[in-house]
Amino acid sequence: MPEVCDNIISTLAPCLVQSGTNPDVAQFISILLGVALIASFPLLLVIFLIWVERKIAARVQDRLGPNRVGPFGLFQNIADALKLIIKEDITPAGADRLIFNVAPVIAMLSVILIWAVVPFTPYNIGADLDIGVLYFVAISSIGTLAIMMAGWSSNNKYALLGAFRVVAQLVSYEVPMVLALLVPVMLASSMSMQDMAFAQLGMWFIVLTPVSAFIFYVSNLAETGRAPFDLIEAESELVAGYNIEYSGMKFGLFMANEFMHAFTANLLFAVIFLGAWAGPGATSVPILGFAYLMIKTAIVYVPSLILRATVPRVRIDQMMAFNWKFLVPLAIVNVIVIAFVLKLVQVLGIAPSPENASDFVANIPQMVALLLGNAVILAAAFGLIRGTVRKERLTEAARLAKRVQIEGEKEALPATVATH
């Protein structure tokens, strides 16, 4: 056989044509195989992810975590899934049946679809769309829609409140996320995910624009509804949030969707800021690129799990203020400063030329300039925060002092003011 048949994943279609299949049919079969591979991978992965998350949370909280079913409790989630499948499924009497039943499927769909544009190796990507970044932004909004559908159709006040919080939270945090994504698009001069990976061969974007990476990471945490931004399902206030009325496998789908979304968001972070598959030997041995991508994702994913197990939940007003009064202005300033610095780099002629863009040393002048820009942004941001926090503390102290005066507790005054 000629060498077109050596790699079943990327050259299946020409291989089939050679063995006498109709080209269109061959094309279709090849697409179908790719789709089946990519779409089922996250679903299988999620079983493992839930185990990882439970184990890590258990370690943080000084417990053992699942350890009964299978080696190290690895099969616990398979047992859980089986249990959920044979559970009675209740659609409450007042619910809007169609929307209620479709919502978990749409939630799942919104995450699976993102995997279509993830460059796994230099040669294997589901669909290398010209507008990969926009596609990601658009598809991740569908998840918001699914949660809104679930909350609205449940005929339950808590679920509805949870759904409103989704509109407030997920929608708000999309603004800094999209703003942060503008910078990698500027650096790569492309919206395709694969081009973005190639553009990072010389230098990862997290080194060039740490502020963008920070904004993207934080808003991703919020977009996936993870602690400290897990207000969507604040147990203490909303019972369970948007999925209270769900039971059986539909609940299971929402649950799996949450874990999958968290991993997918970190995967996107690894693709856009950590160079996707880039690493030694990735271009010659594609499977290595895939391994690098997974390792990079794990490096950002595990801290988010530890964060989830350690930090308390923020209040909704704090969360919205943090987004609109800190992240969005920071993201806007970031885009402006980076635009200026990049233009400056171009004018001064220290930008790496297209020929040596993948050379590490050629990237250093540009990196230094961009890092300086980032440092200025960060210094300004933290200066502003310090000022605001100080002002808030002073007003709080003044308020307390006034109250103490009215209540006549003179001896409590110095202590209260001193703590602020």
Of residues 173 through 202, those in contact with another protein by CB under 8 A are 174-175, 178-179, 182-183, 185-186, 189-191
Residue 10 binding another protein, by CB under 8 A: no
CB atoms within 10 A of CB 57: 16
Which listed residue (54, 55, 226, 250) binds another protein by CB under 8 A?
Answer: 250
Stretch that binds another protein, among 83-91, 200-208, 389-397, 403-411 (CB under 8 A): 83-91
Of 265, 240, 262, 258, residue with least CA distance to 163: 240
Phi, psi for 125 (deg, rounded to 5): -145, 140
Longest dimension (CA), the chain: 95
Q: Which amino acid is at 120?
A: F
Residue 128 binding another protein, by CB under 8 A: yes
Residue 362 binding another protein, by CB under 8 A: no
CB atoms within 10 A of CB 229: 25
Strand pairing partners for 125? 119
Stretch that binds another protein, among 62-70, 151-159, 270-278, 363-371 (CB under 8 A): 151-159
Say if CB 126 and CB 36 are below 8 A apart.
no
Q: How many whole angstroms separate alpha carbon 197 and alpha carbon 39?
A: 21
Tell me how far CA of residue 369 lies from CA of 123, 185, 212, 336, 377, in angstroms: 32, 18, 15, 14, 13
Which listed residue (325, 386, 399, 403) binds another protein by CB under 8 A?
Answer: 325
Residue 104 binding another protein, by CB under 8 A: yes
Tell me how far CA of residue 290 lies from CA of 49, 123, 193, 287, in angstroms: 17, 10, 15, 5
Say if CB 159 and CB 150 are below 8 A apart.
yes
Q: Looking at residues 105 to 124 of the shown chain, list those that interact with another protein (rule: CB under 8 A).
A: 105, 108-109, 112-113, 116
Question: Would you say 274 or 357 has its CB closer to another protein?
Answer: 357
Which listed residue (8, 22, 25, 36) binds another protein by CB under 8 A?
Answer: 36
Residue 160 binding another protein, by CB under 8 A: yes
Residue 352 binding another protein, by CB under 8 A: no
Those residues whose C-beta lies under 8 Å from the C-beta of residue 136, and which sit 6 or more positions away, are: 114, 117, 193, 268
Mark out the alpha helices in 61-192 (DSSP H runs). 76-85, 97-114, 132-153, 157-188
Which listed residue (52, 320, 350, 400) binds another protein by CB under 8 A?
Answer: 320
Tokens of 86: 């044979």
Stretch that binds another protein, among 64-72, 162-170, 199-207, 365-373 (CB under 8 A): 162-170
Which listed residue (100, 120, 136, 158) binds another protein by CB under 8 A?
Answer: 158
Residue 402 binding another protein, by CB under 8 A: no
- SS3 for 305? helix
Which listed residue (63, 68, 97, 343) binds another protein by CB under 8 A?
Answer: 343
CB of 418 to another protein, least distance (A): 30
Q: Looking at residues 217 to 246 of the shown chain, list those that interact with another protein (rule: CB under 8 A).
A: 239, 244-245
CB of 210 to another protein, least distance (A): 18
Q: How many whole angstroms separate alpha carbon 352 and alpha carbon 208?
A: 13
Residue 103 binding another protein, by CB under 8 A: no
Burial environment of residue 52 by CB neighbours within 10 A (0 to 12, 13 to 18, 19 or more): middle
Q: Which amino acid is at 74?
A: L
Question: Would you say 186 or 367 has its CB closer to another protein?
Answer: 186
Question: Would you say 171 or 227 has its CB closer to another protein?
Answer: 171
Tokens of 265: 């968001």
Say if CB 376 and CB 212 are below 8 A apart.
no
Q: Looking at residues 257 to 316 of the shown chain, list those that interact with another protein (rule: CB under 8 A).
A: 316
Residue 57 binding another protein, by CB under 8 A: no
CB of 153 to another protein, least distance (A): 10
Which listed residue (207, 302, 307, 332) binds another protein by CB under 8 A?
Answer: 332
Question: Would you say 346 or 405 has its CB closer to another protein?
Answer: 346
Question: Would you say 342 or 369 has its CB closer to another protein?
Answer: 342
Residue 391 binding another protein, by CB under 8 A: no
Which listed residue (63, 94, 235, 388) binds another protein by CB under 8 A?
Answer: 94
Stretch that binds another protein, among 33-41, 269-277, 382-390, 406-414 (CB under 8 A): 33-41
Of 330, 321, 331, 146, residue with least CA distance to 229: 321
